[in-house]
A and B are shown apart, each in its own frame.
Chain A
Amino acid sequence: MTNIINSNITPYFKATLSSPIANVTGDGTAYTCLFDTLSAGAGYNTSTGNFTAPRSGYYLFSITISATNVASAHTLSLIQLVTTFGTFSFSNLKLSNFKATSNNAIISAFVPAKMSLNDTASVLWTVSNGTKIVQFDSISSFNGVRIY
């Protein structure tokens, strides 16, 4: 096929979670989501939760947060992409209403962001008004690709 531009050097990463992490938020704790597996690509630090941009440009981030063990007291969930350039909130809802029968919820979004060389990006998740029992579930993922 002609006219397809293939770039093997496009910065990208796919970070996933191999097993759930319990008790990460729920009481207002702002949890930097730590994905323990770099499934593809490069630039993601599984210890800090930061992606570091190897090239400047505009990136598209794909974020999925899976929450389990959500209680009726957990009335607020805020999910943000935090970059060196700025913080971008993309989900703010009453999690206790949104959670399904099994007390879980999955929220996903695309977030575009400008990144300069060596800028970092991470996902920050804050659930409030209850106790710190909300679990960060393994369906969650954090992905990014440089668009231009």
Chain B
Amino acid sequence: MTNIIDSGRQPAFLANNSTTRSAVTGDGTIYTLIFNTLINGNNFNTSSGVFTASVSGWYIFNVCVIYGGLNSAETTGTINVITTSVTYPVSNGNPGLCRAPDNSFLLRGCIMGNMNTGDTAYCTTQVSGSTKGVSINGSSVYTYFSARRMF
């Protein structure tokens, strides 16, 4: 077939987290999200949670986490995607009130942003209103971070 342009080598990655991070927030602590398994792609550090752009361009970022151990007092939960030049708030809500019967809550967000070569991107989350008892559940299905260069 002609006229198909395969741009499959655009910088990209998908990583998820399989290990529960216990009691990392809840009292306003800002926690840098760690995704310990690189599913595909490259330039992502599974120890630090940091992606490094190998090529400048516009990237799309997508992040999802599932909290555990929530209570009704934890009334603010946020996720930021933090690049070298810009911090993008991508989600802000009330995990305590919206939590599921098992005291979990899924929060997610996404953004498109410009990256220069060598720029980094990582995600943070912060839950406030109570003590430091909120966990990030280990789940390859519900906790992931991905990025792809669009052009």
Contacts and interface: CB of A to CB of B under 8 A. Distances in A.
Contact of A4 (B55, B89, B94, B109): B55
B62 interface: yes
A106 B55 CA distance: 30
Contact of B89 (A7, A10, A106, A147): A106
A110 B110 contact: yes
Interface stretch (B3-11, B16-24, B133-141): B3-11
A108 B90 contact: yes
Interface of A: 1, 3-7, 10, 12, 14, 40, 60, 62, 64, 66, 97-102, 104-110, 139, 141, 143, 145, 147
Interface of B: 5, 7, 9-11, 54-55, 57-58, 60, 62, 75-78, 88-94, 97-98, 109-112, 114, 128-129, 150-151
Given A98-B93, A105-B92, 20 more contacts: A4-B10, A5-B7, A6-B151, A14-B112, A60-B150, A62-B60, A64-B88, A64-B111, A97-B94, A97-B98, A98-B94, A98-B98, A99-B93, A99-B94, A100-B76, A100-B93, A101-B128, A104-B92, A106-B92, A110-B62
